[in-house]
C-alpha cells in the first residue's frame, strides 16, 4: 500500500557550501552511523551527501 510519494531536488553546490562551512559535522547530522563509512570512502563527498539528503527529504515528504 502506498500512502504518498515524495520527491526532492538538492543543489550539490548548496551541500558543498555547507560542507565547507561546517565540515564533516554537517554530514554527521544528516547521515546515520551506518552511512558514514560510505561517506568517508566517497570520492565526491558533496555529491554523495546531496543524494542521501534528497532521498531522506523525499521520504519525509511522502
The answer to the question of residue 1 being in a domain is no
Question: Does the pLDDT of residue 55 top 80, yes or no?
Answer: yes
Specify the number of domains making up the chain: 1
Spatial separation of the C-alpha atoms in residues 34 and 11, rounded to whole Å: 24
Spatial separation of the C-alpha atoms in residues 58 and 46, rounded to whole Å: 18
Of 2-6, 12-16, 42-46, 47-51, give the lowest mean pLDDT range: 2-6
The answer to the question of residue 48 being in a domain is yes
CA Rg, the chain, in Å?
12
List pLDDT tens digits, range 8-42. Answer: 889 999 999 999 999 999 999 999 999 999 999 99
Full domain range(s) for residue 18? 12-61
Band the pLDDT of 4: cuts 50, 70, 90: confident
Q: Which residues in 22-31 are b (16+ Cβ under 10 Å) and which e?
A: eeeebbeebb
The answer to the question of residue 2 being in a domain is no
Amino acid at each position: 500500500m502506498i500512502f504518498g510519494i515524495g520527491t526532492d531536488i538538492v543543489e550539490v553546490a548548496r551541500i558543498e557550501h555547507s560542507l565547507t562551512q561546517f565540515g564533516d559535522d554537517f554530514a554527521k547530522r544528516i547521515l546515520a552511523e551506518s552511512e558514514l563509512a560510505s561517506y568517508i570512502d566517497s570520492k565526491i563527498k558533496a555529491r554523495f551527501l546531496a543524494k542521501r539528503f534528497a532521498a531522506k527529504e523525499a521520504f519525509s515528504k511522502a
